[in-house]
Amino acid sequence: MHPTSSSRAGTRTAFIGGGNMARSLIGGLIRNGAPANSIAVSEPNADLRAALARDFSIAPHADNAAAAQAADVLVLAVKPQVMKTVCAGLRAIAQASKPLIVSIAAGIRIDQLDTWLGGNLPIVRCMPNTPALIGAGAAGLCANATCTTPQRALAQDILSAAGLAVWIAGEKQMDTVTAISGSGPAYFFLLVEALEKAAVAQGLPREAARELATQTCLGAGRMLREDGAAPAELRRRVTSPNGTTQAALESFEGDGFERIVARAVAAATRRGVELSSELDR
């Protein structure tokens, strides 16, 4: 679906928080045909507010309640640490109009949001990632039982405006989604950094090393999306017996590459659980 579909017809959306992720979603909605006058944003930073109004012709507000007043959908795009306070300020409006709540805050559970906003609200918890800034995001979504099918479609429209949006059956899996797609771009950037450093150590000029590593990873990612074969199959196609690729892969295996990745993802998942637990105190 796209924002021009019947699921968004006449829908008023308010973004609470106007940072990078909100900007990417607003930009995606506008590009896909959402009317600018159907979108409002609240942002305490005057420069960010001015930039959003200038770039997208949407209604900017310094006050959260003012932005949310007439909204059918509230997209909560603030930092997890301030979410409880923000929800307290929106509670009366949320209870009066029962809008769809879409949260993109890492580690904040649906039951926490529902409690802070007064209860009995349709809530979708999402985890987008920073490539949404260029329309290439990957987001996981899960909804509570209060969400209707049209409301789920609305949430998907908003997130898919900036990339891929995938529904996750159980909320407990959202911390793993955060560890994979939310934090995942940093792992990728770390790999490119390591490739660049390794190539420079072997005598390649830094600029050439970075360009080759970046384009190689971009091309490999496109092959994964466009070829349709499993990653293991694509890896096998590149790996000639006793060749250079096999030598590198054997070195990775000897250093426990899969275990390193598994431990990193487990650590990120645990931290997501801890973040929500900290806000229960």
- pLDDT tens digits for range 11-38: 999 999 999 999 999 999 999 899 999 9
Percentage with pLDDT > 70 across the chain: 96
Do the beta carbons of residue 44 and residue 240 sit within 8 Å? Answer: no
Query: For position 281, what pLDDT does the model report?
Result: 67
Looking at the chain, which runs of residues are DSSP E strands?
13-16, 39-42, 59-61, 73-76, 100-103, 123-127, 137-143, 163-167
Map out the domains of the chain as residue ranges: 6-174, 184-276
Distance CA 124, CA 117 (A): 14
For 88, residues 6+ apart whose C-beta sits below 8 A from its C-beta are: 116
pLDDT at residue 50 is higher than 60: yes
pLDDT at residue 5 is higher than 50: no
Report pTM.
0.86
Q: What is the pLDDT of residues 145-189, one digit of tens each?
A: 999 999 999 999 999 999 999 999 899 999 999 999 999 999 999
Query: For position 270, what pLDDT does the model report?
Result: 92
The domain at 184-276 falls in which architecture? Orthogonal Bundle (1.10)
Output the six-digit token pair for 28.
Answer: 């995606």
Total residue length of the chain:
281
**pLDDT-based confidence at 207, cuts 50/70/90?**
very high
pLDDT at residue 4 is higher than 80: no
Kindly state the average pLDDT of the residues 120-132. Answer: 95
Mean per-residue pLDDT of the chain: 93
Query: For position 9, what pLDDT does the model report?
Result: 64
Strand partners, 166: 140
Query: For position 222, what pLDDT does the model report?
Result: 95
CATH entry 3.40.50.1480 includes domain 6-174: no
What is the DSSP secondary structure assignment for residue 34, as one 8-state letter? -
